[in-house]
Chain A
Amino acid sequence: MNEYRFEDLKIGQEESFTVTVTEEMMRSFLDLSGDINPLHNDAEFAKEQGYHDKVVYGLLTTSFLSKLAGVYLPGKYCLLQGVDVKYSRPVYVGDILIVKGIVEELHPSVQRAVIKVYIQNQDEKKVLKGKIEVGFLNVK
């Protein structure tokens, strides 16, 4: 786990990690969200709508930003204060995603970093893009 504090960050600084979306993740997300919508749970229904398979929940994909902020950028001292994302393409079970953050703004007066985020699939196509706003815990 990274332990960047506000003072350690620089504009343009990057962190990323790779994750494969699994069937188990879909089941866990269904359990915690209660979203039984067939687009995410019924492959035949999803195919009838023009998708290759059942579509991974957008908020499941978004949840990887929690790991990006809390483990990688800035890591241990992160206080996630805002998330603003758009979805560009569907994600399917088995997709290998690269989750990436780039420091875009630093506001020393309020110890706020704005991090541009995007997630791309194994075909290097962006499936999510947006920004997160993070503050920092005052831990010695």
Chain B
Amino acid sequence: MTREYVYEKMNEIFRTVFDDEDITLHDETNAEDIEDWDSLEQINLIVAIENEFGMMFDMSEVADLANVGEMVDLILSKDKE
């Protein structure tokens, strides 16, 4: 799985969850960049990501994610396990 592929899928997930086709993610994108990104939407995002990529995270792995880049890093590291 390449970083580009993960970003393609992540863009689709974010656009669906936030109902906003204009979202384009970058490594530095965080909750301050997307108005509706609150704690409940964070749960919706994690669930959508787990289902899309067929993987489950630990609570500790998702608790301290600072931005989209760290989320993508986590997905890629899980893919190699």
- Chain A residues proximal to chain B, CB less than 8 Å: 81-82, 105, 107-112, 114, 133, 135
Listed by A's residue number, 5 A-B pairs whose Cβ atoms lie within 8 Å are A105-B51, A107-B56, A109-B59, A110-B42, A110-B43
- Quick check: is B40 within 8 A (CB to CB) of the other chain? yes
| Range for the number of chain B residues in contact with chain A | 10 to 19
Q: Mark B9-53, 1 if CB is under 8 A from A, else 0.
A: 000000000000000000000000000000010111011001100
Least Cβ distance of A104 to chain B in Å?
A: 11
Residue on B nearest A135 in the bound complex, by CB: B43
Decide if B58 touches A110 in the complex (CB within 8 Å).
no
Chain B residues whose C-beta falls within 8 Å of the C-beta of A112 in the assembled complex: 43, 46-47
The number of residue pairs between A and B whose CB atoms lie closer than 8 Å in the complex comes to: 34
Decide if A107 touches B47 in the complex (CB within 8 Å).
yes
Decide if A81 touches B59 in the complex (CB within 8 Å).
no
Measured in the bound complex, the distance between the Cα atoms of B81 and A79 in whole Å is 33
